[in-house]
C-alpha cells in the first residue's frame, strides 16, 4: 500500500519571529497533534528534515517571503509531503503547506483571511521578490549562455590544437620509425663489426701462437743443425784417419765418441722439435676447427702453456698446473685453449706489468658429475672495483694506449657461456691478484670412441 497521501488539502499557521507556532489557522489535514501551538515549527519534523525546516524559516525571515519548500511529515507512520510557502505578517510568520505546490494567489487568499492590508503589503513584497528572482534567472541564463559560448570556443580551439598535435605526432611517429630503422641497421652493422673483430682477435691469437711456436721451434732445430754440421766434420776427420797408413787409436776413439755425442744431441733436439710440432698441430687444429672431440684435458692445457712459453720464459712468472693426468672428456678443446690463452696473456700484460713483476699462476681442474670445473688464479695487480663488472664487456680495456682490443674477456665469456654452455665469474681485489671460476658440462665418451 502506498504510504504517501494523495489529497490536495492543506494547512496554514502563524508563528512568531522565533518560529514558535502561535495559531493553527486552517487544518484540513488534521495535523494539530503534530503542528502543536506553543512548540517550534521545526519540532514537527524528524531529525533528518529538521535542519531543512530551519533553513526554510531562515530564508523567510531574511527575504520576507519564500516559495515552495517540500518538507515531509510523518502522520501515523505514513509519509505526507507538503509544499510550504511563507511570508512576513508584521512581526509574525505566515506559513501555508499544501500537498501540491501552492500558487501565489492561493497564498494570498489564505493571508487575506487574516489581514487584508498586510496581505497587500506582502503581495507587493512577493511581487518584487518574484521580479528579482526572475531577473536573477535571466541573468543566470545569460551568464550560463556566455559561459557555454566561451566553453564552446575553447573546445573549438582545443580541437584545433589536438588536430595540430595529431599532425605533429604523426610526423614524429614517421621520424621515429625512420630513426628506429636506421638504429636497427646500425645495431646490425655493429653486431657484424663486433663479430668480425672477435674473429680477428681469434686469428690474432692464432698468429701469436704461430709466432711463439716458430720462436720455440727455432732453438731445437738450430741446435740440431749445428750438431749435424759438427757430425759432418767429425765424419770427414774419421775418413781421413782411416785413409792413413797408421791410425792413432786414441784420436780415432775420441772422434767416434764426438760423433756419438753429436747424434744424441741431434736426436734429443729433433724429438723436442717433433713434440712442439705435435703440440702446435693439436692446438691449431682445435682452435680453427671448433669441433667436439675426445681429448686429454691435462695434455691440452699443457700444450697451451707450451705454446706461450716464449712469452713467459724470460720472466719470473711460474705457471703451476693441477690437473689429473688421466682426465679425458668429450668437449671443445679449442675453446678451452683459447680461454686459457686469453687469461694467461691478460695475467702477463695486466697482472704482472708485461712480465716485469715476479708472480705465480695456478690452474686447477676437477671433474664432478660430468661438470668440468676450472679455477684460474694469479697473484698479480688485481682489478679495481669499478672495473670488475666490466671485464666481460666488449671493447673494455685499461690498456687501450698499449694496443689492447678489449675483447679478451668478452671472448672468454662468450666461449664459456655460448659454446661450452657454462658459467664464468671473476673475483679480485687490487694488489691481491684475480680468480676466475668457470664450469661447464662435458661428456665422458663418444660413440666413435667406444
pLDDT tens digits for the chain (450 residues)?
Answer: 344 334 458 898 999 999 999 989 888 899 999 999 999 999 999 998 999 999 999 998 888 888 889 999 988 888 999 999 988 877 889 898 998 886 766 666 666 665 555 556 556 655 665 666 667 777 787 888 888 888 888 888 888 889 889 989 999 998 898 888 888 888 888 777 766 666 666 666 666 556 666 666 677 787 777 777 877 877 887 888 777 777 777 777 887 887 787 777 777 777 777 766 766 665 555 555 567 889 999 999 998 898 888 888 889 999 999 999 989 999 988 889 889 988 998 899 889 988 899 999 999 999 998 999 999 999 999 998 888 888 888 767 766 555 455 677 888 888 899 889 999 999 999 999 999 999 999 998 865 444
What does 221-242 look like in DSSP terms, one character per residue? HHHHHHHHHHHHHHHHHHHHHH
Task: Quote the pLDDT of residue 81.
Answer: 92
Q: How far apart are CA 380 and CA 292, in angstroms?
A: 34
Q: How far apart are CA 401 and CA 163, in angstroms?
A: 56
Q: What percent of the chain has pLDDT over 70?
A: 78
Q: How far apart are CA 346 and CA 126, in angstroms?
A: 104
Q: How far apart are CA 23 and CA 159, in angstroms?
A: 64
Contact between 360 and 317 (Cβ < 8 Å): yes
DSSP 244: S
Q: How far apart are CA 175 and CA 365, in angstroms?
A: 55
Element (H, E) at 377: strand 371-378
CA 315 to chain centre: 46
For 371, the grid coordinates are: 661438470
Task: Quote the pLDDT of residue 39.
Answer: 94
For 433, the grid coordinates are: 691478484
Distances (CA, A) of 167 to 8, 45, 172, 180, 426: 65, 63, 9, 20, 53
Q: How far apart are CA 347 and CA 344, in angstroms?
A: 5
Q: Report the residue count for the chain.
A: 450
Task: Quote the pLDDT of residue 195.
Answer: 67
- 431-441 pLDDT per residue, tens: 999 999 999 99
In DSSP terms, which residues pair with 71 in a beta bridge? 82
Closest CA to 409 of 424, 420, 393, 425: 393
CATH superfamily of domain region 10-114:
PAS domain (3.30.450.20)
Task: Tell me yes or no: is domain 316-449 CATH 3.50.50.60.
Answer: no
For the chain, domain boundaries: 10-114, 316-449
Taken in order 431, 432, 433, 437, the sign of the CA dihedral is negative
Amino acid at each position: 500500500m502506498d504510504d504517501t497521501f494523495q489529497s490536495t488539502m492543506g494547512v496554514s499557521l502563524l508563528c512568531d519571529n522565533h518560529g514558535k507556532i502561535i495559531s493553527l489557522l486552517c487544518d484540513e489535514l488534521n495535523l494539530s497533534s503534530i503542528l502543536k501551538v506553543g512548540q517550534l515549527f521545526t519540532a514537527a519534523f524528524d531529525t533528518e528534515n529538521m535542519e531543512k525546516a530551519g533553513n526554510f524559516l531562515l530564508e523567510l525571515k531574511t527575504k520576507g517571503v519564500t516559495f515552495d519548500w517540500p518538507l515531509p511529515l510523518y502522520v501515523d507512520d505514513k509519509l505526507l509531503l507538503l509544499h510550504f510557502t511563507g511570508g512576513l505578517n508584521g512581526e509574525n510568520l505566515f506559513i501555508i503547506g499544501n500537498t501540491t505546490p501552492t500558487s501565489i494567489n492561493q497564498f494570498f487568499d489564505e493571508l487575506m483571511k487574516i489581514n487584508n492590508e498586510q496581505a497587500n503589503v506582502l503581495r507587493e513584497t512577493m511581487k518584487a521578490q518574484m521580479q528579482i528572482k526572475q531577473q536573477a534567472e535571466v541573468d543566470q541564463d545569460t551568464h550560463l549562455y556566455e559561459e557555454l559560448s566561451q566553453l564552446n570556443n575553447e573546445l573549438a580551439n582545443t580541437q584545433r590544437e589536438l588536430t595540430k598535435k595529431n599532425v605533429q605526432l604523426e610526423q614524429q611517429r614517421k621520424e621515429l620509425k625512420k630513426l628506429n630503422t636506421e638504429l636497427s641497421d646500425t645495431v646490425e652493422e655493429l653486431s657484424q663489426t663486433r663479430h668480425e673483430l672477435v674473429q680477428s682477435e681469434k686469428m690474432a691469437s692464432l698468429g701469436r701462437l704461430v709466432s711463439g711456436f716458430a720462436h720455440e721451434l727455432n732453438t731445437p732445430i738450430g741446435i740440431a743443425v749445428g750438431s749435424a754440421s759438427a757430425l759432418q766434420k767429425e765424419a770427414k776427420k774419421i775418413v781421413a784417419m782411416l785413409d792413413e797408413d797408421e791410425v792413432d787409436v786414441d784420436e780415432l776413439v775420441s772422434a767416434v765418441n764426438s760423433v756419438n755425442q753429436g747424434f744424441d744431441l741431434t736426436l734429443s733436439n729433433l724429438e723436442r722439435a717433433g713434440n712442439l710440432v705435435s703440440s702446435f698441430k693439436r692446438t691449431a687444429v682445435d682452435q680453427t676447427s671448433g669441433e667436439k672431440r675426445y681429448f686429454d684435458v691435462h695434455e691440452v692445457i699443457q700444450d697451451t702453456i707450451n705454446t706461450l712459453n716464449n712469452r713467459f720464459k724470460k720472466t719470473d712468472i711460474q705457471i703451476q698446473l693441477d690437473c689429473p693426468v688421466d682426465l679425458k672428456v668429450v668437449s671443445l678443446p679449442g675453446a678451452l685453449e683459447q680461454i686459457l690463452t686469453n687469461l694467461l696473456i691478460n695475467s702477463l700484460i695486466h697482472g704482472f706489468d708485461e712480465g716485469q713483476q715476479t708472480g705465480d699462476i695456478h690452474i686447477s681442474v676437477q671433474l664432478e658429475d660430468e661438470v668440468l670445473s676450472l679455477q684460474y688464479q694469479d697473484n698479480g695487480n688485481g682489478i679495481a672495483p669499478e672495473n670488475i663488472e666490466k671485464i666481460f664487456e666488449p671493447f673494455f680495456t685499461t690498456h687501450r694506449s698499449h694496443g689492447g682490443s678489449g675483447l679478451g674477456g668478452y671472448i672468454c665469456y662468450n666461449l664459456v657461456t655460448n659454446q661450452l654452455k657454462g658459467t664464468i665469474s671473476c673475483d679480485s681485489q687490487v694488489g691481491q691478484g684475480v680468480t676466475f671460476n668457470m664450469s661447464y658440462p662435458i661428456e665422458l665418451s663418444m660413440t666413435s670412441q667406444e
